[in-house]
Amino acid sequence: MDRVTASVEHVEVAVTDLHLGMYVSELDIPWLESPFLFQGFVIESNEQLQQLKEVCRKVKVDMRRSGERPVTDWEHVEEEDYEVAVEHELRAANGVRHSAHLLIQNIFRQIERGKGIDGDAVRAAVNDTVSSVMRNPDALVLLTQIKNKDNYTAEHCMNVSVLTAAFARFLDKPRQEIEEAAYCALLHDIGKIRVPDAVLNKRGRFNREELVLMQSHTERGRDVLLASPSVLKTAVDVALAHHERIDGAGYPYALPREVIPYYARLVAVTDAYDAITSARCYQGARSSFDALQLMYKDRDTQFEASLVERYIEFMGVYPPGSIVEMSNGEVGIVLSVYPRYKLEPRVLLVLNRYKEPTQERIVDLRHNAVDSTGHPYRIESTHANGSLGIDVRHYLKKGLSQSGVFGAEPSVSWRAEACSSHRPASDADF
């Protein structure tokens, strides 16, 4: 490669001249046609080098940032693991999730009876959530895959709270701010309890009257929270403003960007991600990759661009709970992701290359795992939950009932029960 003077920042480089450690700032093809989540990344693996060679002829390299580690906020996290491994945190996380679910259901009942919300109870539940997230966020993020379409609002509130806490942790926010953001997220859709079920669960498009009713959940949420003196005032702001847009075309007040509260902008991102990746009465679940692509398209219009880009960085291509297909056709579920090696997660393989149930085993892609033919495992594509007859919930529920869940060698009972639950997902499961 030609010598580059220190004054040159972005240099056009042939893909054949790229090497590990270079910071790719621009591709010669549109981002959406590439296998990369967004432009601007350090080349960390030979796999990335090969992908660049397959889709590009030339790229631009930022010489100032080349040689660095990826620009993330994970420097405060151990290189391999969090405070505890995901399999050790999963049981505690499941208890946290169960308690939060009971709390949300109780809140709904209290509102229906005309009573206020116990803000201290919400604060205690959120404290437990954040404690789990601080130990290992993958556990609760993995459990967000347990979704029930018939109980969508309650589970959506829980999931958005978890995702918000984990995202705020990634952004290296102080614990107090993480708790406040997660608290706001838990109550962001509380106004939907005042929207008729016929509107909430409608399968087709809304007519104008129904749309007005649906959108009224923001103001109804504000009113419900204002009637509860012990609730954080920032939660009132988020309930009211989480559907405002950066381009000023949101509702209920079409606020300009600078007036939208920060937590409302933050929750707007996690809210959209969970909604897109959830099965609803009127649409199927989309994959994480699809969700991130859609959100990226709407950066600087619906969402804060910098937050979307950081959220993509946070989730990575293969977040916990993703269904992934390997280059040899085998299919598995992502269990955990190393913060600095997000292209090389730990995967529970559940289908063979013929898409038939197989004896489960865990492969760690970071450790150069190979298949029965000696070829390295490489993730080829992702699928939405429910695809290929796989419902992540069944594996999680079966695994939680076993000791040593997700350990290096899954137990016989784990393998047998997980296989027996392999079936197409039905409407009754969501």
Which SS3 state, helix, strand or coil, does residue 7 take?
coil
CA 255 to chain centre: 27
pLDDT band at 76 (very low <50, low <70, confident <90, very high): very low
Using an 8 Å Cβ cutoff, are 318 and 337 in contact?
A: yes
DSSP notation for 114-163: T----HHHHHHHHHHHHHHHHH-HHHHHHHTT---GGGHHHHHHHHHHHH
pLDDT bin (cut points 50, 70, 90) of residue 18 is: confident
Least confident among 149-163, 271-285, 347-361: 271-285
pLDDT higher at 176 or 48: 176
381-390 pLDDT per residue, tens: 888 878 898 8
- pLDDT at 7 (0 to 100): 35
Tens of pLDDT, residue by residue over 345-375, are 989 899 999 999 988 888 989 888 889 888 9
Q: Are 71 and 65 in contact (CB under 8 A)?
A: yes
pLDDT at 399: 61
- 13 burial class (0-12, 13-18, 19+ CB within 10 angstroms)? buried
**pLDDT value at position 401?**
55
Do 119 and 183 contact (CB within 8 A), yes or no? no
Give the per-residue pLDDT at 8: 45
CA distances from 176 to 13, 165, 264 (A): 45, 11, 17
Helix (H) or strand (E) holding 200: helix 197-200
Domain boundaries, the chain: 10-62, 86-315, 323-429
Is residue 396 over pLDDT 60? Answer: yes
pLDDT bucket at 414, cuts 50 / 70 / 90: very low
**pLDDT tens digits for range 177-229:** 999 999 999 999 999 999 998 998 888 889 999 999 999 999 999 999 999 99
Considering only residues 80 and 144, tell me which one the structure prediction assigns the higher pLDDT: 144
* pLDDT, position 192: 94
The whole-number average pLDDT for the span 399-415 is 41
Cα separation, 237 vs 242, in Å, equals: 8
**Would the pLDDT of 71 be above 90?**
no
| 89 in Cβ contact with 137 (< 8 Å) | no
Query: How does strand 341-351 pair with strand 357-364?
Result: antiparallel
CATH numeric code, 86-315: 1.10.3210.10
Residues 6+ apart with CB under 8 A from 184: 164, 232, 234, 235, 237, 238, 239, 263, 264, 267
The average pLDDT across 292-310 equals 94
pTM given for the model:
0.73
pLDDT at residue 349, rounded to an integer: 93
Backbone angles phi, psi at 333, to 5 degrees: -120, 130
Look at residue 166 and tell me whether its pLDDT is greater than 90.
yes
Return the percentage of the chain with pLDDT > 90, whole number: 47
**What is the mean pLDDT of the segment spanning 79-89?**
69
- Amino acid making up residue 193: I
pLDDT at 15 exceeding the cut of 90 = no
Q: Are the CB atoms for 238 and 263 separated by under 8 Å? A: yes
Burial environment of residue 298 by CB neighbours within 10 A (0 to 12, 13 to 18, 19 or more):
middle
Residue 302 binned pLDDT confidence (cut-offs 50, 70, 90): very high
User: What percentage of the chain has pLDDT greater than the value 70?
Assistant: 84
In whole angstroms, what is the distance from residue 190 CA to residue 108 CA?
A: 8
Distance CA 23, CA 44 (A): 9
Where residue 286 falls among pLDDT bands split at 50, 70, 90?
confident
Length of the chain (residues): 430
Could you tell me if 280 and 150 are in contact, meaning their C-beta atoms sit under 8 angstroms apart? no
What lies within 8 Å, CB to CB, of 54 at 6+ separation is none
Mean pLDDT of 308-326: 90
Tell me the pLDDT of the chain averaged across its residues: 82
pLDDT at 406 over 70: no
pLDDT computed for residue 325 by the predictor: 94
Contact partners, residue 374, CB within 8 Å, separation at least 6? none
1-10, 163-172, 293-302: which has the minimum mean pLDDT?
1-10
Q: Which of 267, 303, 291 is nearest to 384 (CA)?
A: 291
